[in-house]
Structure 1
Amino acid sequence: MPVKSLLLASASVLLALASARAEVAAPDFTRPSSAAAPAMSPGASPPSAPNWSMPAQIPAAMSVPAGANPFAMPPAVAAPAPVSAPAAAPFALAPEPAAATSADAPEADPTKPDESALRYYASQRDMARVGAEIRRLKGLYADWQPPSDLFATGPKVDEQPVWDLFAKRDFAGAQALVARLRSETQGWQPSEDLSGKLADAMARQRIDVAAANGAWSQIIGAAQASPSLLTCAQVDILWNLGEAFARTGDLARSFDVYAYVLKTCEDGGARLATVQKASQVLPVQGRDALLALGRTGPMGGEFDAVRFDLLRGAMGRVASGETGTLPAATELAAFADYVGRSRSAPDAALFGWYFFGQKQWKDAAGWFRAAGQITDDPKALEGLILSLRNGGDVPAASSMAFEARARSPEITKIYVEMEAERLTADGATPPSDAEQRRYGDVVEQARSSLGAQAIGWSLIAQGKPDAARTWFRRSVEWQETSEGVIGLAVAASRLKDKAGLQEIKSRYGDKYPEVADLEDAPVAVAKATRRAAGVTGGQRRGGGGQDKILRQAQKQFDSGDYKSALASLDQHERTFGRNRGAELLKGWTNLKMRRYQEARAIFKAEDKRGSTKDTRFGIGATFNSQFNAWSSN
């Protein structure tokens, strides 16, 4: 079946759980998504900045409305603010600016009117406030008259050098230059724009440095002194402030900062990042309360992606085999519904790997198909191919892998491995010339040592040792392995090339001892099996139940009753657990029964645990027996 057709096929999979079953079908992304509830309109005007100056008291347990601060003290137990000193609101919007004054200006005379505010309003050309201030001062001082130079133009100074330093982020240098210009030009003050931006930049720099160093109290102090920074335009400052409150134990005010962003700011990315950052520092009840402030749109909840983060982690641990504890069926069902609405390819693939880790191949394949409908990521296709392969549909998996081999090197590798298993399987049907050419082209392009070996062994089985030697040579050239070297030796043995076989033994014998034993099969196998069973000179080393069962298995093996020998070895494993000697004897028993794949797998597994002459000889003997290469002279 073509890959495209398979990827576009609808997927309907039941989620099987150990404790319960819930219908969680892999969505069909070729169909339009069903509409969800209409988007919730944001408020007509943004809410006011909360009062973050009040300390928080965290009750032991309380029930709060959705989206409310779960860490705030309930009104019934909240401490009243003192009447004489009401709590300040240090993070409210910037206060009305005061009149600019020179650092070296003389102290104001308390017996004379304070004209600083009047001159400030005049410098701003705020005529309404100028008139109001004049009337106020005349009411206080009957003989007072507005100064004649009220609207006089002050000294002129070129601010561009200061702005140039500001643009280079040399804020300290800019501040020093302002101070020098003030001293050089009596009465000059920088423009309100320059003063404000320079002050904010200095404060932001202090906050950034404090955040990098984890100086949480410094962040709070700097933000308190520069409330004009606490805006959606500089949301990262709000994030730093929220974390600073949380790190210093003030969870209530931390929550208020994050909630303020969600209630005030419109940028979707910033809102999502706010919930993600808050989730890292607030307890779960704080995260859940913030999630409740999310908006609902056609694709579901605004923060659904965050809502399922914990579940994603749990599914990932199941997929990797880190844990066998499965998430609740209701959670998985809700997540599956979200995946269907959001068309999230990574999440669909996660479901696939989740089932793959539990060896539920059919369910895994359904979810990988669903992921493939909405993404070009070859990982989803790799998962589908592996699921089909492990589920027993090897022809479909192989065909799909061949058609999609250009999508990724991993898919090519999977195809080569599947065909290698098919070509070297016990009793495998020889491939047609066209099949062999097709496979050979892929193997050459990928320079696959494993694929070259598979073709070589297939050709040996077909009685074509000369062609087989060519492929074994390629295998060793691309990647030298014991199997490739053994293949060269077997081909030379079949061709009765004594000189070639001796050259292989001389070149590789020390590195691959199993090559040296090609001609000594009867004696070598007998010695190896008796060593495996722990028998020396007809006597068993040690005693006990283990020895009795192994002696019985050895006798059955020696008498040719291999089926009974396997039964005894299985009984030994059930009773005493895995034993290296018993495993090796099991490998030789499978070899005698011509179960080459089983024998090879056992010897390779034991060789991986600890390589010895016996394990290496077992690997070589399996190939030699399978392809009748024992007698070469």
Structure 2
Amino acid sequence: MKSSFIALSVAIIATVSIVGMKKPDYVKHAMQTFSPSSEEERTPLSSQLAQQQPALRTDSEKAPVFQEIKRPAQPVIDTVVTAATASVVDESALRYFASRGDTARLQAEISRLKALYPDWVPPKDPLAVPQNEDKQLETMWQLYSQARYAEVHKAIAERQASEPAWKPPADLIDRLTVAEARTRLINASDLKQYETVVRIGSETPSLLTCSEVDVLWRVAEAFFRTDKAQRATDAYTYILNNCQNAAERLATIQKAAAILPAKSIEDLLSKEKTAPDGTMEFDSIRDDLARRFIAEANGDGKIVVPPQYISRLERLAETGGLASDALLLGWYYLPRGDMEAAEKWFRKAHDKEDTASASQGLALALIDRNDQLAAEDTMYRWRDDSKDAKAVYLAATANLLALDPPVSITAEVLKRIAAEVIKSRDAVTAQQFGWYARALNQPQTALQWFKTALGWKLDDEPSAYGLAVTYLQLEDMKGLAEIQRLWAGRSERIARVGEVEEAPKTTEKRLPLPKETVVARRQPRTAAVTEEAGYDQATEVVVTRPRRTVTVSRGCKSTVNPQTLAPEAALTRGWCLMELNRPMEAAAAFEVGMLGSSAKTREDSAYGQSLAYLRAGLASKAAVSAIKAPQNRKRAFELQQAILADKAVAAFDAGRSREALLVLDQLKQLGPERTDLLSLRGYAYLRLKRYADARRVFEALASIGNRDGQRGLGILYQIFNDKD
């Protein structure tokens, strides 16, 4: 982060005003599209441009005016072209570098002189050029070569004072000017004064050559930092089109990749050359480019990485085995919603090297697919690594405790979760501990957790509600009254805890509802929706439960004690009984099936017993059965939805509309609310006289042509007409 005299692109001259800029008489400006052939690459750009139509016109009284041109497919190059106006070429610098054996500077000087004087022919043996006979001038060149520019100026001034007729060579003055400009440009770049970098570059076009690649890099970056990304790309493209040093070309791609977007880097990579052995010159950095692009995209979810780089990194992660590569891929896929791919790569990284980052990513993927127990276990070791790690761990614990039906959690895991919740003073997980304790019928424990959560977060309404319903369960009416007093005017559902809903009245005026399907419903029930309207709404629902499609014999019509059967035979009989709609007998058969030695038999039996209890209308027993044996993700999710739907309908049929809404809210967290359950929600609102909420639900249903929604709107219409 040196060859022929080649100047940079249109970007520099076009960016900075050069009004009043002093230049030698031989300077003139031109613009052209530059796409060199191999021959052109060996020819100074100034010579190439000298034959092009000038794009800049001047007159004696006006500042230079640039002609506007359209950007072509190749970068547009604007430079200062030097025409040979002097009859004698100043070879003093050439002689000095030759006498010192400085071949690099000698070659750079030959290139510069050829650019200035296209007809000039360099000596065949530059090292044979005689030394300067002017010893004072020799000393000046020596000071110049040592970058002692102030001393050069002093020596020139002293000689002019002693020899008024002596004039310093124009070449020396020009080179001093360029060298000092280079120093100023580098200082400005180091100080991040990018506008100054661009200005100096435009004023000193002889700096913008392949012999000054570091300057070209700095100017390219200055373009980018001043919001001229395309001009920065033009500058890097210019280097790759014209400069031949392999190390500098590779470094150009590396520097460009540090600031330019992936698309621009792809354009630059198209300038790649093929080595005699068939390898490509930029192959060595393509892996790092893939890593860099994906790392940048991980910080910005809107960035789209070209597929070839994703595929390249995936191959590296598969074959190279670096945990860091797999980790990059995991964090790329996670925010883009591809949770399956994210989990795959996080797990690979985690298996290679169990780090906080790998564990955190894996835990997030596990949380997404509702494997909260595994997420908690994955993050426990790293829970104190950072604030983010702690947040992920506590999210896993809260979700774990919130599962419905509740999962079996060992005493050891519960103990460590509780310790972390208390240490972190996390109200969310404390609240979920309360609900978990209620689900296990431990109201006193639930009471303590709800109180703890409220102590940490005074405005936590769900914890206050949990406290209220637990007071009611314990028949602690004094405690219930106190929590209702504290939340008066802030929570309608807390205020209504303990209220007895009026029994539905039946009148002759009936408006039956259309049949709808509700998953995991047991038997049709009839319940009044609203007394005020004078309607007894007959809400009929049809059972459509999860089913396991099996081929069984009909040999289960007779009564058989399942205890006399082998577990596998009992499992088969259970499914047969389900086909005959004898769920309680099926449940007993499945119970025997859970004694089997095969994990698959036990899983199928627990699943079957859950379905049997659901069909019999025993949702609580179905929830217990669901955790008697581990279920795969699909089945567990299916059962969870079915059990909650059954609870919601049962609560509604029993006249407990608020409880039905609470369960429906839980069910809604698992996915979009089905039409049938949305209908149930609407009638629960209607029964509670929450007419605005009911109207919103029924309008949503009616908008998709649902007859139940249309009927609900009709009920609301009649309610308000009757009031009028």
Which residues in structure 2 correspond to 1:111-122 (within 5 Å)? none
1:55/1:253 contact within 8 Å kept: no
Residue 562 to residue 402, structure 1, CA distance change in 2 (3 Å): farther
| 1:288 partner letter | S
Mapped to 2, the partners of 1:379 and 1:414 lie a distance apart of 11
Q: What is residue 202 of structure 1 aligned with on the other side?
A: 184
Q: Secondary structure at the match of 1:511?
A: coil
Which residues in structure 2 correspond to 1:125-524 (within 5 Å)? 186=161, 198-204=180-186, 212-213=194-195, 218=199, 221-226=202-207, 231-234=212-215, 236-237=217-218, 239-240=220-221, 255-258=237-240, 263-265=245-247, 271-277=253-259, 282=264, 284-290=266-272, 301-306=284-289, 333-340=311-318, 345=323, 347-353=325-331, 363-372=341-350, 378-391=356-369, 393-428=371-406, 434-479=412-457, 480-523=459-502
Q: Secondary structure at the match of 2:490?
A: coil
Residue 240 to residue 339, structure 1, CA distance change in 2 (3 Å): same
Residue 298 to residue 587, structure 1, CA distance change in 2 (3 Å): farther
Identity %: 15
| 1:237 partner letter | R
Q: What is residue 6 of structure 1 aligned with on the other side?
A: none
1:449 Cα deviation after fit: 1.0
| 1:221 partner letter | S
Mapped to 2, the partners of 1:82 and 1:260 lie a distance apart of 14
2:513/2:540 contact within 8 Å kept: no
Q: Secondary structure at the match of 1:405?
A: coil
User: Deviations for 1:398-437, whole angstroms, at most 9, x for unmatched residues?
Assistant: 3223333233444444444444444444453675654443
Which residues in structure 2 correspond to 1:36-75 (within 5 Å)? 48-49=3-4, 51-52=6-7, 72=35
1:486 Cα deviation after fit: 0.9
Mapped to 1, the partners of 2:508 and 2:293 lie a distance apart of 62
1:71/1:252 contact within 8 Å kept: no
Within the alignment, does 1:601 sit opposite 2:661 as a pair? Answer: no
Q: Secondary structure at the match of 1:301?
A: helix
Q: What is residue 43 of structure 1 aligned with on the other side?
A: none
| 1:303 partner letter | R
2:339/2:365 contact within 8 Å kept: yes
Mapped to 2, the partners of 1:234 and 1:197 lie a distance apart of 12
Mapped to 1, the partners of 2:282 and 2:96 lie a distance apart of 55
RMSD over aligned CA atoms reads: 6.8
Mapped to 2, the partners of 1:228 and 1:368 lie a distance apart of 47
Residue 598 to residue 315, structure 1, CA distance change in 2 (3 Å): farther
Q: Secondary structure at the match of 2:270?
A: helix
Q: What is residue 564 of structure 1 aligned with on the other side?
A: 542
1:508 Cα deviation after fit: 1.0
> Unpaired runs of 5+ in structure 1?
1-46, 57-69, 93-109, 135-145, 156-161, 167-173, 531-535, 541-546, 568-583, 619-633
2:220/2:233 contact within 8 Å kept: no
Mapped to 1, the partners of 2:97 and 2:237 lie a distance apart of 41
User: Deviations for 1:496-521, whole angstroms, at most 9, x for unmatched residues?
Assistant: 33332222111112111110111125
Residue 306 to residue 326, structure 1, CA distance change in 2 (3 Å): closer
Residue 436 to residue 86, structure 1, CA distance change in 2 (3 Å): closer
1:485 Cα deviation after fit: 0.5
Residue 517 to residue 284, structure 1, CA distance change in 2 (3 Å): same
| 1:601 partner letter | Q
2:516/2:541 contact within 8 Å kept: no
1:566 Cα deviation after fit: 8.6
Residue 548 to residue 180, structure 1, CA distance change in 2 (3 Å): farther
Residue 195 to residue 588, structure 1, CA distance change in 2 (3 Å): same
Q: Secondary structure at the match of 1:458?
A: helix
| 2:271 partner letter | A
2:3/2:211 contact within 8 Å kept: no
1:118 Cα deviation after fit: 8.0
2:236/2:252 contact within 8 Å kept: no
Mapped to 2, the partners of 1:431 and 1:85 lie a distance apart of 83
1:406/1:412 contact within 8 Å kept: yes
1:337 Cα deviation after fit: 1.5
Mapped to 2, the partners of 1:364 and 1:219 lie a distance apart of 49
1:77 Cα deviation after fit: 13
Q: What is residue 20 of structure 1 aligned with on the other side?
A: none
Residue 236 to residue 498, structure 1, CA distance change in 2 (3 Å): same
Residue 283 to residue 366, structure 1, CA distance change in 2 (3 Å): closer
Mapped to 2, the partners of 1:421 and 1:537 lie a distance apart of 48
Mapped to 1, the partners of 2:95 and 2:342 lie a distance apart of 72
Mapped to 1, the partners of 2:455 and 2:470 lie a distance apart of 16
User: Deviations for 1:517-538, whole angstroms, at most 9, x for unmatched residues?
Assistant: 1112534x979xx9xxxxx997
1:462 Cα deviation after fit: 4.7
Instruction: Give the aligned length.
Output: 472
Residue 373 to residue 562, structure 1, CA distance change in 2 (3 Å): same
Which residues in structure 2 correspond to 1:577-616 (within 5 Å)? 588-589=648-649, 591-592=651-652, 599-601=664-666
Residue 557 to residue 410, structure 1, CA distance change in 2 (3 Å): farther
Q: What is residue 57 of structure 2 aligned with on the other side?
A: none
Mapped to 1, the partners of 2:667 and 2:357 lie a distance apart of 31
User: Deviations for 1:147-169, whole angstroms, at most 9, x for unmatched residues?
Assistant: xxx669999xxxxxx99xx9xxx
Q: Secondary structure at the match of 2:3?
A: coil
**Which one is further off, 195-204 or 305-314?**
305-314
User: Deviations for 1:107-141, whole angstroms, at most 9, x for unmatched residues?
Assistant: xxx9xxx9x9889989999899996555xxxxxxx
Question: Scaled by the length of structure 1, what TM-score is found?
Answer: 0.53
Q: Secondary structure at the match of 1:302?
A: helix
Question: Scaled by the length of structure 2, what TM-score is found?
Answer: 0.47
Q: Secondary structure at the match of 1:303?
A: helix
Higher relative contact order (CA closer than 8 Å, sequence separation 6+): 1
Residue 90 to residue 526, structure 1, CA distance change in 2 (3 Å): same
2:178/2:207 contact within 8 Å kept: no
1:195 Cα deviation after fit: 7.3
1:398/1:415 contact within 8 Å kept: yes
User: Deviations for 1:212-258, whole angstroms, at most 9, x for unmatched residues?
Assistant: 44996x565334143589535556335358879x9788987752324
1:206/1:222 contact within 8 Å kept: no
2:434/2:466 contact within 8 Å kept: yes
